[in-house]
Amino acid sequence: YWSGQMIVSQHSFYYNGQKKLFSLQTTGTAEILASTNRFEVKRNTNYTLSFYAFAGSNVRNSDVYFLGRKSNETNGFTFINQLIVDRRFNGFPEYVTVSFNSGDNHNGFIRFDNNGSTDGINAVLFFGEIMLVEGRTAHKWESSYAELVTVTRLHTVEDTLDSHTRT
């Protein structure tokens, strides 16, 4: 569901290291990116994005975008909505919400940017529990139906294997 330079990681500040989240790590000064896959939106509709984020003190700053396009367009995006601009996230997880309007777009994606290291030492932006909902009210992250079905199928297979191996 994601592409870019992010790494799935864990951090002791985030659920005592028990849950996974994404990280964008760089020692360079250029931005590095992580993007969702493209998804459909309703035109001229309000949406709210929520997530947890935190960063090292040497992360220059971070941006978050909604990048959209109309259904007949072939460019990656033709509409730029910078939801979060030059933000310096704290060194501990904070819950962030931002609402935006999809404009005259039919689809788009969310992009997180780590805008580089201030000192040439590994600068890490962490983010997780990303949730996008229609409307102006944020909702905490929850599994999608597809994720629940996959987990249920996995448990069913494990249970079936267990029942066949026990005699």
C-beta separation of 84 from 27 below 8 A: no
pTM for the structure as a whole: 0.83
**pLDDT tens column, 87-124:** 999 999 999 999 999 999 999 999 999 999 999 999 99
Dump pLDDT digits (tens) for 30-78: 999 999 999 999 999 999 999 999 999 999 999 999 999 999 999 999 9
Q: Do 51 and 127 meet the contact criterion of CB atoms below 8 Å apart? A: yes
What is the mean predicted confidence (pLDDT) over 132-142?
87
How confident is the model at residue 1, as a pLDDT? 80
Parallel, antiparallel or unpaired: strands 21-26 and 7-9: antiparallel
CA angle 5, 10, 15 (to 5 degrees): 135
pLDDT on residue 96: 97
